[in-house]
Structure 1
């Protein structure tokens, strides 16, 4: 009798299931939303970058690139020799030292031409000193030490007989000084802008104590 061979039947491997149209549509929609989110993020980054650049450029323009007018002032006045007449024969002959200070607050040097500092009494020039051309560096103050001599030789008789006589009586002599610098501020080695620095100072001199109180604008 023929022996029967038991044949074991194994289940076949499952075939790959193809995605349905709904699944394909959902996947496509998800990809579109992802790309949309990426575009939105990119747009936000670009907008933030543009705003940041505008802020930086504005701040740069208002600080570094803004050209300010330098200031010129007199420093402390130190009297060296003081000679005055009396009310009968009013006169003065005074020498002193001081500093002409050119303050440059710009982010670039200020190059100025030579000029004169004029000292007056009652509108009449009584002394003058020359300031050579020079340069006040980047955010710095240029200091020029000068020796000045002023006297009443050029004053008309009407002035000496009234104002000067009165001031000598109270022992306070008031002089004024004026200077104007013409020059250019140089920025980034390229941009140059003309700027004129002007000074007007009042100098009350206490003849008794030999003290000077400067008031400049």
Structure 2
């Protein structure tokens, strides 16, 4: 039986120092890894800045709301084409009921002040108007203003005008409607911009059918 003295003594493993080539390779790998890390961080910052810039250009850019007359009906139409008697001038009067829409494509609420919607003949002669109270349109939304009533009368028109007389006699009277909505757009509660939305529409009143046709808005 072997004694305790016969046990093999523990010999520590030898530590081989790294060569200069291994150290250089390790440093090169560490440098390359640090360079890649810096590149990825820098690229991430650049992409984030570009995203923020594009987001700001899209959301913080104000656009003029689009105002249009979507429909208009005629009630209580009365007219005289002047053909029955030479002493009677051509004339008309009626009640118009309009539906107006305000389309707000901004990323913020559009608030507008009191305004007036006018119906004109010849682009200058106001034959009727109605008041529109102040209001607002939500972001990316369309608001309908229905049943806007306008009483139109031809007594403001030069009834002896050749064009007016001929249009009344033909039964087709060309009219236009105009309104200017002055207000502001609050973009994400960050930027507030003043905007003016204008409604400019043309239409033809057909006395025979008692309806409007060819309604067009710019």
Q: Which bin holds the TM-score, normalised by the shorter protein?
A: 0.7 to 0.9
Structure 2 unmatched runs, 5+: 1-5, 84-88
Q: 2:71 aligns to what SS in structure 1?
A: coil
* CA displacement 1:171-194 (0-9 Å, x = unmatched): 101111111111010012232110
Q: Which residue in the other structure is 1:19 paired with?
A: 16
TM-superposition CA deviations, 1:45-65 (whole Å, max 9, x none) = 113212321331132123222
Structure 1 equivalent of residue 3 of structure 2: none
Task: Using the TM superposition, give the Cα deviation of residue 84 of structure 1 relative to its aligned residue in structure 2, in angstroms.
Answer: 0.9
Q: How does 1:1-217 map to 2 (within 5 A)?
A: 16-17=13-14, 19=16, 23-88=18-83, 89-122=89-122, 123-145=124-146, 146-159=148-161, 162-212=162-212, 213-217=214-218
TM-score (normalised: structure 2)? 0.86
Whether the 8 Å contact between 2:71 and 2:100 is mirrored in structure 1 is: no
TM-score (norm 1): 0.86
Unaligned runs of at least 5 residues, structure 1: 1-8
CA distance in 2 between counterparts of 1:100 and 1:11 reads: 104
Contact 2:81 2:168 in 1 (8 A): yes
User: What does the per-residue CA deviation read over 1:19-47, in whole Å, with 9 as the maximum and x for residues that have no partner?
Assistant: 35xx4312311221221122122122113
1: CA distance, partners of 2:215 / 2:154? 20
What is the alpha-carbon distance in structure 2 between the residues aligned to residue 14 and residue 62 of structure 1?
73
Separation in 2, partners of 1:67, 1:203: 30
- Offset at 1:209? 1.7
Is 10-19 or 133-142 further displaced after alignment?
10-19
Question: CA RMSD, aligned part only?
Answer: 2.1
CA distance in 2, matches of 1:105, 1:133: 19
Pairs aligned (count): 206
1:15 Cα deviation after fit:
6.5
| Offset at residue 208 of structure 1 (A) | 1.2
Measure, in 2, the Cα distance between the counterparts of 1:157 and 1:80. 22
Higher-Rg member (1/2): 1
Provide Cα deviations, 1:49-105, integer angstroms capped at 9, x if missing partner. Answer: 123213311321232222111111112011112111023430010112112211101
